[in-house]
Amino acid sequence: MTTDFTELEKTIQDILAKPEYQDHPASVALSKLWAVNQDQWNRMDRLTRLSDSYQDMMLQREKSLSERFDKHLRQLEKMTRISDRYQRSLRQLNIELEKTSLIDPLTELPNRRMMMRRLSQAFDYQQEEDQQEEDQQQEDSQDRPQGQAENHPVEHLAVAMVDVDYFKKVNDEFGHQVGDDVLIAIGKLMEKEIEGHGVIGRWGGEEFLVILPGYKIADAAIVMEALRSNVNAYSFQVDEKTVSTSVSIGLAGYQDKDSMDSLLSKADNALYLAKSKGRNSVVIG
Ligand SMILES: Nc1nc2c(ncn2[C@@H]2O[C@H](COP(=O)(O)OP(=O)(O)OP(=O)(O)O)[C@@H](O)[C@H]2O)c(=O)[nH]1
């Protein structure tokens, strides 16, 4: 059974308002019950309002917390994006810096620093080979009959210093700009010649270094002779001017226990000989 409280309240108020029931004990008790009920109702109402405003406050707080959290998250995402972009551009910058520090800006060939690295790699490899060869020889010598000659490690690395002949004349005759263009063109031509054999870089000025890993001196001489002859045969067209030139080459092969310096010195000395013998030639050091 459901009770309509509004109707019940009205009935009770009507009874309590009637003067003939004023002093009736049931009316007195009803008045007290009414007052108690009103009091409880008011308290309940206050409690309900309190609870509502508490819930509102909590909702508000939760909302502002989640808004603040979202804001921080967005800031964090933004910072991560900026940091990612920054790191990417730093990486790119490093790659470019590394590249520019290893590439000659004029000829775009490897520069001296890069060539030293390449030579060092070729040397490490060669020295490992030497060690293996030595170990093998030691093993073999135990089995070898007395008096039989021992094999020396074979040369498997050659370097060549290549210097443009009378380059000062090119500058003097055609100007420094044409000189630059000729250096670029010679670089390109020689790079093509060396492709598939080894690596060429600009050693400085009008001097280039060629590294031929795995090349015995005789085979390296064939490659360098072809390079010399092709440079000599080529006419460089720069600004409607025809420039012919030649190169002198000092070639050296790695030998047992050579250091990088001693190998480069041998090539340098051979180049000096090539120059003093009249230029446009390959001399083996
Ligand atoms: N245009 C230009 N000239 C350069 C560059 N680097 C070096 N040179 C020039 O190269 C010339 C080298 O001259 P020298 O050392 O006398 O040698 P050379 O005239 O080639 O004569 P030999 O080497 O003895 O055959 C100098 O005139 C330098 O200025 C460069 O990057 N650009």
CATH of the domain at 173: 3.30.70.270
Q: Is there a domain that residue 147 lies in? A: no
CA 74 to CA 77: how far, in whole Å? 5
Residues 209 and 232 both lie in one domain: yes
* Residues 190 and 126 occupy one common structural domain: yes
pLDDT at 146 over 80: no
166: left (phi over 0), alpha (psi -120 to 50) or beta: left
Mean pLDDT of 73-92: 90
Sheet strand arrangement including 157-164: 199-204, 207-213, 157-164, 247-253, 282-284
For residue 207, how far is its CA from the centre of ligand 1 (angstroms)? 9
Condensed to tens digits (0 to 9), the pLDDT of residues 183-238 reads 999 999 999 999 999 999 999 999 999 999 999 999 999 999 999 999 999 998 87
Q: Assess whether the C-beta atom of 277 lies below 6 angstroms from ligand 1.
A: no
164, 186 contact by CB (below 8 A): yes
Tokens of 94: 């490093």
- Let me know whether 118 and 63 are in one domain: no
User: Domain of 21?
Assistant: 1-101
Query: Of 125-134, 141-150, 194-203, where does mean pLDDT reach its minimum?
Result: 141-150
Whether 147 has a pLDDT exceeding 60, the answer reads no
CA-closest candidate to residue 113, choices 185, 203, 39, 189: 203
Q: 26 and 79 share a domain?
A: yes
Q: Are residues 230 and 157 in the same domain?
A: yes
Residue 168 C-alpha to ligand 1 middle, in angstroms? 5
pLDDT (tens digit per residue) in 47-74: 999 999 999 999 998 888 889 999 999 9
pLDDT(14) > 70: yes
- The atom number, within ligand 1, closest to the CA of 204 reads 6
